[in-house]
Amino acid sequence: MKQHAMIRAALVATLVTALTQGVTARAQDLTDVNEIVKRANHAAYYQGKDGKAVVKMTIRDAQGRERQRELTILRLNTDDRDEGQKFYVYLHAPADVRGTVFMVHKHIGRDDDRWLYLPGLDVVRRIAASDERTSFVGSHFFYEDVSGRGLDEDDHELVETTANFYVVKNTPKDPRQVEFDSYKVYVHKGTFLPVKIEYEKGGKVYRTAQALEVQEIQGYQTVTRAKMEDINIGGETVMEYTTVTYEVGLPDNIFTERFLRNAPREYLR
Amino acid sequence: MNRGMRMVEFSMNRPRLVTGVMIAMTAVLLLLAALPTLFPGVFFMLPPLRVDTDPENMLSSDEPVRVFHNQMKKALTLYDIVVVGVVNDKDPDGVFNPASLEKIHRLTEFAKTLRWPRRDDPTQYDGVVVSELLAPSTVDNIEQGGLGEVRFEWLMPEPPRTREEALAIRDKAMRLPFLKGTLVSESGKMISLYLPITAKDQSYRVYSALRREIATYDGDEQYHITGLPVANDTFGVEMFIQMAISAPLAMLVIFLLMLVFFRKLVLIVSPMIVAILSVIWTMGLLVITGNTVHIMSSMIPIFIMPIAVLDSIHILSEFFERYQLTKDRRKTLTDVMRTLFMPMLYTTLTSMAGFTSLSLTPIPPVQVFGIFVAIGIAAAWFLTMCFIPAYIMFIPQKKLENFGAVHAAGADEKPAAHTPVERILGRLDRFTWRRVKLIFAGAAVLAVLSVYGMSTIVINDNPTKWFKASHPIRVADTVLNEHFGGTYMAYLALRPTGAAESAEDFLAGMRERLEAFVRDHEGMSPGLVEAAAALRENADAAGARGADADALLAEAADFIEERLAAAAGDAAYAWEDLARFIGVERQRGELYKQPETLRYLEQMQQALEATAIVGKTNSIADLVKTVHRELFEGADEAYRIPDTASAVAQCLLTFESSHRPNDLYHFVTPDYREGSIWVQLKSGDNQDMNRVVNAIAAFTTENPPPFGLEPEWFGLTYINVVWQDKMVWGMAQSFLGAFLIVLLMMIVLFRSGLWGLLSMIPLSLTIALIYGVMGFAGKDYDMPVAVLSALTLGLAVDFAIHFLARSREIYAEKGTWAEAHSEVFGEPARAIMRNVIVVAVGFLPLLLAPLVPYITVGFFMAAILFLSGATTLVLLPALIKTLEPLLFPKTRVCTVTCHCGTCIVSGLAAVAVVAVNVQQFLHLGWTTLSWVSLAVLPLIAASCWLLSRRAQCAPPDDKPSC
């Protein structure tokens, strides 16, 4: 347990130094919280016109038992306002769910459209998206963590500016929709990547997302290893982005129901 | 005897010293027990008081069933559960109205706060496991959203505002098999919340907090809290409370009764002191030796007290009778002690034997209980012998001036019967002298009836039934089990235990499956046939090298990756398909994704539910079926197990995209190799659990599980069956052993087999009557009854010992029973009668206790004393009269070995004792032992015959030497 904590501390330390070294000249600190969250949102979800990532997901339960999943996430921005987006998530492993596809058309201001394709049953189903805070393929991440949470759903407050981070506290406008009271995001000043998110309920942090590794890919600072912990459930999930490519040139038509059954294989490897 | 009397004399000579030592010992024991408890850590050499109310500890922690239970509990992250049922009788829709649901929501939110930082590790919590709580606001609803749409949402994200919304919640829940009968009652009118707790010993704290919270709610709702952990933990707590009430109450009644009989306050304080000191010594020793105070040990005081008082009452009774004859404390006391010493020693030894026999049972807390009660009895005897004489010496002579029975007309004439006790005894005396035949006939009828009654006894137990029917826990139990699937949880695990498939079989099977796969896919995947052929060649080659299944598949996967990297176009798709095929082959070990397994679970659940005891079952099969149904537009015919492992896996993946993905892993381990069916029973009776176990055993014999899966039970309801079974049988065996030991002791005491057997008759009849009545009354033979058999044995023989010892003494004086019997019915019988009344009545307040085991103790105590007193005073005199020539032979030699009959009886008893005990320890079958025993018996008979023919056994010519 203790050893675990130490490894974690070491990881964060390396990460922080890596990030600070990566930035040479630093602009004047920002004070406008809306600007900060806007940039952070862009850095986390909207870099490039499109993107592709092959992800190795390790779900570890409270007893340390692991399950592996392997998936490809395709993403296409449908506007340049950092709003509309389309996702195509294809599962490679385990073998018995290979070919399963989750597709999301993300909208700001209204519910997203979500689809699910299950090859073993040969069914395509739309999934009512009233609640996005459900588990993403059984991991500790939620759908919302993968596709992003609308900026207008929370009130933002810049609570602290440290040497490296803007600390933004976000309080939901409609607390009935979510299970937390608020969450704090540590936005790295240089890259605007949110490197740590702490969800609170009743004054206690119970859920923590962390960026464990950041790399520059095609000029974009990219989180390549991320972890989500939940002390209520116990255990954690680590997502490892083994290959990340930006500006793939994904055609818009692959984000349609037709391509659920016939996966665009050339874009998935 | 002489040595014993010297001890008594020493106490009479040095009362101050004896009392001082006694007080000092008590103080030391008290301090040693109390200090480490009050200041933990300071006295690190000494263990503090530790209380353990977990009935699971009735089995030692390395007992296989407990090890397995804990292993599976961990593997499936299962918790012990507190169940809160909410009922609303006033509303036609039950609790499905906005007001009730609002309260349920509030109670749920309150329940989420019921956790506390752990003492040794503040980052961890004890109490309710919040993420696993089952309530309308914390579970998911899966349903159709619209055309081709599936919806996952909280069942009740917030309390509804209208009646329609409230009813909608009910209708949604009733459609979900894992909520219907669990969260919502079958009638659709009640809701149960399920609060998983980190450990069983948290349940009383949670229970109390919930009760306090509920007390602040108004409205028509009733709340019922139950579940085995609550019953267990609450029972433990209330047991200790009962101890603090019942024992002093019994003492008070005994005290008052003694006051009525002996009318001298200063004198009757002494038995009280003896009883209290014996309890302090025993419990002090228990704590100091580091034994936990378990539910069983909490009952030690209530067992020691009556036994401690018995001897004192005999002494006081005698003292009371004789004092006025001499008016000399010392002389009276010496006479009294001389008369009573042997009977008291033997009654103590027999009681100790009864309880020590419990140490032979396979239940650790019962062993501790038996040993420490025996120690307490020894302590009580020692205190009686030393302290009572010392105490009497303290009392100034003049204070005793008017004490005791006044023998108006001198010692030789019979005193006038001026008390009810004396009148009754007088009548009894005449009755037993004249109506011998009637008495034998009556006893025979009673014995026959008792044996019949005993044959109807049912061995059964249910810890919830240790509470009276009116106790809130029993009420909750009744209500919830009537309306829900059942609150008693047991789990039926299915795990692979057989050997793995051989490499050859696997390869052959895989080739077949590959062929089928190619057949299914070749139409859509050009190049698949060629690729598959290459793969088969590769696999055959690996098989020929002797690779096992895992190595073979790993090699095949590498082979495919290689080709995939090199391929393009259609060929790449073909290799992609084969990669999927190999992937599925590699997952064949994930048994709980195989449709065969799930279908078998489905059948097993039907078999379980067909027993009518099981109200509901849940398994991974239900999850898969429900998801499958909702994926196919909610059609009822889609409520089935899909046909392929990957279809099952995809249903499960869909389920994992809900709010509570981890619910899945309560049914199956993450490697999908082990899993269990949750079985909700409506009754926690051992018999019912056993019936279910038998039903499943029959089912699996007829329908062997696939993949070499083996069924095995766990869960608290099942564990209870195991330990209670062990306990009841272990107890029955130790009882038999103790009975024989007591018989041996009696033979030694009376130096006669006949007398020994005679003294066992009241005991045997008492036991037969008590258990016979139990059989007729339909009371189950359960754990408390089993423990009490030891008490019966130890106590029921006491009066016979006193009666026979005194009869023999008086007979020696008078020469014939005709002369002796009236005197026996004088003072000795009065002492017995006083004891019967004092102790039997003293324990009657226990009948009012809210816990059934206490009622049982009270009933037994009264029954033992009353029945053994009655049989002793009625049957024994009749038997003595009939057997007079045999019992009092005119010539005799006082060596046991000279009496052929006595010798044979002792030999038989000794062999039986050895046989019973050896059987318990060596687990030898009865048949082997029986043969050995049978061989030993003629040897004993022969040697007895030879011994009795020795020259020195020849009767002396002149007169009897004894």
Compute the nearest-CA separation of A182 from chain B (Å).
Answer: 18
Dist. CA B694–CA B714, nearest whole Å: 14
| Residue with token string 């596809």 | A101
pLDDT 10s digits, B274-294: 999 999 999 889 888 888 888
**What b/e string do you get for B941-958 counting C-beta neighbours within 10 Å, with b at 16 or more?**
eeebeebbeeeeeeeeee
Residue A175 sits at the chain B interface (C-beta within 8 Å): no
Q: Amino acid identity of B653? A: L
Half-sphere exposure of B946 (CA within 13 A, CB side): 6
Q: Contact, B645 vs B593, CB < 8 A? A: yes
Is A136 in CB contact (< 8 Å) with chain B?
Answer: yes
pLDDT average, residue stretch B869-888: 89
Which residue has better confidence, B135 or B245?
B135
Q: Do B656 and A138 touch (CB under 8 A)?
A: yes
**Can you list the positions of beta strands (E) in B128-190?**
140-146, 149-154
Specify the CATH superfamily of domain A2-267.
Lipoprotein localisation LolA/LolB/LppX (2.50.20.10)
Show residues of chain B in contact with A63, CB under 8 Å.
74, 77
* Residues B312 and B320 sit within 8 Å (Cβ to Cβ): no
Q: How many residues does chain B have?
A: 962
| Burial of B652 (C-beta count, 10 Å sphere; 0-12/13-18/19+) | buried
| % of chain B at pLDDT higher than 90 | 22
Residue A268 near chain B (CB below 8 Å) = no
Cβ of A197: how many Cβ atoms within 10 Å?
22
A155 beta partners: A171
Instruction: Find the CB nearest B650 among A120, A131, A143.
Output: A120
From B179, B105, B155, select the one nearest B658 (Cα to Cα). Answer: B155
Q: Is the confidence at residue B411, as pLDDT, over 50? A: no
What does residue B146 show for φ and ψ, rounded to 5 degrees? -175, -160
From A264, which residue of chain B is nearest by alpha-carbon distance?
B573
Strand pairing report for B51-52 and B293-294 = parallel
Q: Which residue of B has its CA nearest to A266?
A: B569
Residue B375: per-residue pLDDT: 93
SS3 track for B401-414: CCCCCCCCCCCCCC
Is there a contact between B794 and B354 (Cβ–Cβ < 8 Å)? yes
Query: What is residue B521's DSSP assignment?
Result: H
What are the residues whose beta carbons fall under 8 Å from the beta carbon of B954, sequence distance 6 or more? none
Q: Among partner residues B149, B153, B656, which is closest to A126 by beta-carbon distance?
A: B149
Closest residue to B153, CB basis, from A123, A131, A232? A131
Put simply, the answer to whether B670 touches A120 (Cβ < 8 Å) is no
Select from B524, B584, B662, B664 the residue whose CB has the most chain A CBs within 10 Å, as the one to mutate to test that interface.
B662
Whole-number pLDDT of residue B720: 83
Contact A134 B152 (CB under 8 A): yes
CB contact under 8 A, A265 and B670: no
**Ranges of H-type helices in B39-162:** 64-75, 98-112
CB contact under 8 A, B632 and A97: no
**CA–CA separation, B707 and B704 (whole Å):** 9
Contact list, B656 vs chain A (CB under 8 Å): 135, 137-138
Burial class (CB in 10 A: 0-12, 13-18, 19+), B450: buried
Nearest chain A residue to B627 by CA: give it. A121
Q: What is the dihedral of CA B582, A103, B592, A96, to 10 degrees?
A: -10
**C-alpha angle with apex A123: B592 to B146, nearest 5 degrees?**
115
Sign, Cα dihedral of B176, B182, B184, B189 = positive
- Decide if B150 and A116 are in contact by the 8 Å CB cutoff: yes
Indicate if the pLDDT at residue B216 is higher than 70.
Answer: yes
pLDDT of residue B960 exceeding 50: no
**In Å, what is the CA distance from A195 to each residue of A17, B122, B220, B794?**
13, 27, 52, 75
Q: What is the mean pLDDT of residues B818-844?
A: 86
A137: nearest CB among B149, B653, B662: B653
**CA-to-CA distance for B534 and B559, rounded, in angstroms?**
10
Partners of residue B642 in chain A, C-beta under 8 Å = 120-121
Mean pLDDT, residues B792-810 taken together: 87
CA–chain centroid gap for B190, Å, is 32
- Neighbour-count burial of B933, counting CB atoms closer than 10 A to its CB (0-12 exposed, 13-18 middle, 19+ buried): middle
Radius of gyration of chain B (CA): 37
Q: What is the pLDDT of residue A24?
A: 40
From A95, A134, A232, residue closest to B131, measured CB to CB:
A232
Q: Taking the CA atoms of B834, B836, B839 and B843 in sequence, report the sign of the dihedral they define.
A: negative
What is the tens place of the pLDDT at every residue in B615-666? 999 999 999 999 999 888 888 898 999 988 889 999 999 888 888 888 899 9
Burial of A40 by CB count in 10 Å (0-12 exposed, 13-18 middle, 19+ buried)? buried
DSSP labels, B220-238: SEEEEEE-HHHHHHHHHHH
Q: What is the pTM of this model?
A: 0.82
pLDDT of B43: 59
CB contact under 8 A, B150 and A135: no
Q: A118 or B565: whose pLDDT is higher? A: A118
**Strand-strand pairing, B149-154 and A123-128:** parallel
**Which chain A residues are closer than 8 Å to B669 by Cβ?**
65
How near does any CA of chain A get to the CA of B558, in Å?
A: 15
Say yes or no for a CB contact (<8 Å) between A126 and B632: no
User: Assign residue B800 a region: left if phi > 0, alpha if psi is -120 to 50, beta otherwise?
Assistant: alpha
Interface-testing mutation among A96, A140, A266, with chain B (most B C-beta atoms within 10 A): A96
- For residue B868, which of B733, B935, B770 has the smallest C-alpha distance? B770
Q: Is the pLDDT of residue B959 over 50?
A: no
Q: Is A127 on the interface with B (CB under 8 A)?
A: yes
**B516-530 burial: b if 16+ Cβ within 10 Å, else e:** ebbeebeeebebbee
- Across the interface, of A62, A126, A133, the residue whose CB is closest to B148 is A126
| Residue A243 Cα, gap to closest chain B Cα (Å) | 16
Of A63, A116, A233, the CB nearest to B654: A116
Closest-CA distance, B374 to chain A, in angstroms, reads 46
Residue numbers in B near A116 (CB within 8 A): 150, 654, 657
Query: Residue B58 class from Cβ within 10 Å (0-12 exposed, 13-18 middle, 19+ buried)?
Result: buried
Q: Which residues of A touch B579 (CB under 8 A)?
A: 95
B843, B306 Cβ separation under 8 angstroms:
yes
A138: chain B residues, CB-CB within 8 Å: 653, 656-657, 661, 664
* Binary contact (B583, A133; C-beta < 8 A): no
Closest residue of A to B647, CA-based?
A120
Q: Do B649 and A126 touch (CB under 8 A)?
A: no
DSSP code at position A212: E
Cβ neighbours of B659 in A, within 8 Å: 131, 133-135
Question: Which portions of chain A are predicted below pLDDT 50?
Answer: 1-3, 5-7, 9-11, 13-14, 17-18, 20-25
DSSP percent split of chain B into helix, strand, coil, nearest 5: 70, 10, 25
To which H or E segment does residue B376 belong? helix B364-394
pLDDT value at residue B953 = 59
Q: Which of A95, A98, A135 shows the shortest C-beta gap to B658?
A: A135
CA distance B581 to chain A (A): 8
- A169-198, pLDDT tens digit by residue? 999 998 888 889 999 999 999 899 999 999
Domains of chain A: which residue ranges?
A: 2-267
User: Locate tokens 């019962």: which residue?
Assistant: B366
Q: Say yes or no for a CB contact (<8 Å) between A93 and B149.
A: no
Tell me whether A162 touches chain B (CB under 8 Å).
no
Q: Span B111-121, mean pLDDT? A: 86
Identify the residue among A70, A104, A121 best suited for mutation to test binding to B, counting B beta carbons within 10 A and taking the highest: A121
Mean pLDDT, rounded, for B752-767: 88
Of B69-83, B397-411, B586-600, where does mean pLDDT reach its minimum? B397-411
Mean per-residue pLDDT, B224-245: 80
At residue B188's C-alpha, the angle toward residues B186 and B190, to 5°, is 95
Search chain B and give the residue with CA nearest A265: B573
Picking from A116, A128, A137, the nearest residue to B145 by CB comes out as A128
Q: How many CB pairs under 8 A join A and B?
A: 132
Distance set, CA B134 to CA A229, B452, B659 (Å): 22, 50, 12
Distance in angstroms (rounded) separating the CA atoms of residues B712 and B491: 8
With beta carbons less than 8 A apart as the criterion, state whether A126 and B150 touch.
Answer: yes
Q: Do B152 and A136 touch (CB under 8 A)?
A: no
Q: Quick check: B631 and A123 CB within 8 A?
A: yes
Identify all chain A residues contacting B142, using CB atoms and an 8 Å cutoff: none
**Residue A27 and residue A192: Cα distance in Å, rounded?**
12
Mean pLDDT of B612-616: 90
Helix/strand/coil for B658: coil
Are A131 and B659 an interchain contact pair (Cβ–Cβ within 8 Å)? yes
- Residue among A212, A189, A188, A186 nearest A199 (CA): A186
Torsions phi, psi for A55 (to 5 deg): -120, 135
pLDDT band at B962 (very low <50, low <70, confident <90, very high): very low
Q: What is the mean pLDDT of chain B?
A: 84
Q: Is the pLDDT of residue B444 over 80?
A: yes
Does A176 contact B at CB distance below 8 Å?
yes
Residue pair B417/B426 in contact by the 8 Å Cβ criterion: yes
* Residue range B28-53: mean pLDDT, rounded: 72
Give the closest of B573, B645, B657 to A134, CB-based.
Answer: B657
Quote the CA–CA distance of A135 and B190 in Å, as a whole number: 30
Question: With 0-12 CB in 10 A as exposed, 13-18 as middle and 19+ as buried, what is B384?
Answer: buried
Whether residue A67 lies within 8 A of chain B, CB to CB, comes out as: yes
